[in-house]
Amino acid sequence: MFLINCPFCGERDQSEFSSGGEAHIVRPKQPTELSDDQWAEFLFMRKNIKGVQFERWNHSHGCRKWFNVVRDTSNDKIHSVYKMGEKPPVK
Amino acid sequence: MKNKYSIFSLIKNALSDHENWQQAWGDPEPKKEYDAVIVGGGGHGLATAYYLAKKHNLTNIAVVEKGWIGGGNTGRNTTIIRSNYLWDASAGLYDHALKIWENLSQELNYNVMFSQRGVMNLAHNLQDVRDLKRRTHANRLNGIDAVWLETDEVKKFCPIINTSQDIRYPVLGGTLQRRAGTARHDAVAWGYARGANEMGVDIIQNCEVKGIKRNGDKVEGLETTKGFIKTKKIGVVAAGHSSVIANMAGIKLPLESKPLQALVSEPVKPIIDTVVMSNAVHAYVSQSDKGELVIGAGTDSYVSYTQRGSHNIVEDTLKAILELYPIFSRMKMLRQWGGIVDICPDASPIISKTNIKGLYFNCGWGTGGFKATPGSGDLFAHTIANDEPHKLNAAFNLNRFVSGDLVDEHGAAAVAH
């Protein structure tokens, strides 16, 4: 339970948002050329980090926009928030 | 040799004010080398060690645990045991466990308080009715007892349920597995620890794994807070922290770790003598032998290792509970807690070898691992000892995420995830 500072609406309760999981997993440019191992990596394998993690969130009960969050999963503390397409901050 | 627990030992120790009970398991320092090391001293890890020693004669082994045994999800779950899963592979796995549960107290000479009080799963909409009826048929084809109950039969089986058709989630029927039930979670860890220790297994508590030493594609040992332990076989049973250990070995797993919550009420006189689960509203209730209502809620949607979880999740669960059981409206909740569960994309576990020789993972049990404890330990021990899976856990390999041969129990297994 924590607050998320939506870059469009400001600080709101986490329950207004939906988690989109790990950020910066790029969809393969040439899906037809992917091996089964590469598909598994893209679809299923996750870092699942205990510590600072880059992740996507959607303000699903607000502006419904996607953005990125840098959060420490060991204590739910949010380090920074940045918009889609922006460069991730250096840890 | 450990003393056998019996009515006579109880009387004998009562006469000496219970001051002379033998220690149930030792507290050794780690040796330099073991034939195999199990990482994680929860129910599954201790069961694995127990069956490695008992069935595969591997007694020069150790269980390393970063806290105290049974202090993780083993001591945090809602103790529900059932095997009414949809797919053949899952039915085989969970019913194997249920059959071991039925004789576990005798086998371990330790009362795990296994109580076959039945588990009832409620249907709240027409899709639930179709899904649960289909699952009942699938269960019966796999030799698992299951019956469909109409709404009046649900009311008869558990009279305190509100079966009015005017509520937000009306009860349209339910399924019942009579062989299912509950057990005492701590006793399972303690019983397996005592049994394993008696056969020579070292149980090393307060020993956190800090690194896995690899030589090419083979494991050589573990770096721990109590020094380096050399071993050729490592079985990782670290639940929510499986990915953390996998990162140490340089591999990735298809897991996400999320908080799952449960809570208990103040103790009251016996009011509910079964376990009732509700898929659609994600609320489970049973009553412990102490009289507390044991209530299970859902997981949070985000990755977190905080062992607490969000307030809105328990709030939603309690709203649903109050509508289904108006009699609980003035109950007070005593404790609420969270455990970190590792969830696979197909909501089925992984009991598998990896690409690294000597490294095995037993993880991904998600929200429902407790029920499988004995079966999981038995099959994981088989996999480690023979370097090959048993036929019952062959489908639960890590490679299924590459081949696409998933065991999709999302929703189908009587609980939504």
Domain ranges across chain A:
3-83
In CATH terms, the fold of domain A3-83 is Folate-binding fold (3.30.2270)
User: What is the reported pLDDT for B107?
Assistant: 97
Q: In chain B, whose CA is at the least distance from the CA of A45?
A: B254
pLDDT band at B14 (very low <50, low <70, confident <90, very high): very high
Q: Do B402 and A37 touch (CB under 8 A)?
A: yes
Question: Which residues, 6 or more positions from B366, have their beta carbon under 8 angstroms from its beta carbon?
Answer: B341, B342, B343, B344, B347, B349, B417
Give residue-wise pLDDT tens across range B304-338: 999 888 999 999 999 999 999 999 999 999 999 99
The structure tokens listed for B272 are 């509910």
| Average pLDDT, integer, range B101-108 | 97
Cα–Cα distance for residue pair A1/B99, rounded to 1 Å: 40
Minimal Cα–Cα distance from A1 to chain B, Å?
4
Enumerate chain B positions whose Cβ falls within 8 A of a Cβ in A.
Answer: 241, 243-244, 247, 252-257, 301-306, 308-312, 342, 345, 401-404
Enumerate chain A positions whose Cβ falls within 8 A of a Cβ in B.
Answer: 1, 13-15, 18-19, 21-22, 36-37, 39-41, 43-50, 53, 55, 73-76
User: What is the reported pLDDT for B335?
Assistant: 94
User: What is the reported pLDDT for B1?
Assistant: 59
Interface mutation target, options A18, A38, A48, chain B, most CBs of B under 10 Å = A48
The DSSP line for B293-351 is EEEEEEE-SS---SS---HHHHHHHHHHHHHH-GGGTT--EEEEEEEEEEE-TTS--EE
The structure tokens listed for B15 are 């006469």
The structure tokens listed for B231 are 């071993």
Contacts of A75 in chain B (CB under 8 A): 306
| Average pLDDT, integer, range A26-40 | 94
Give residue-wise pLDDT tens across range B247-302: 999 999 999 999 999 999 999 999 999 999 997 878 899 999 999 999 999 899 99
ipTM over 0.90: yes
Cα–Cα distance for residue pair A85/A89, rounded to 1 Å: 12
The DSSP line for B377-406 is HHHHHHHHHHSS--TTTGGG-TTHHHH---
pLDDT band at B410 (very low <50, low <70, confident <90, very high): confident
Average pLDDT across chain B, whole number = 95
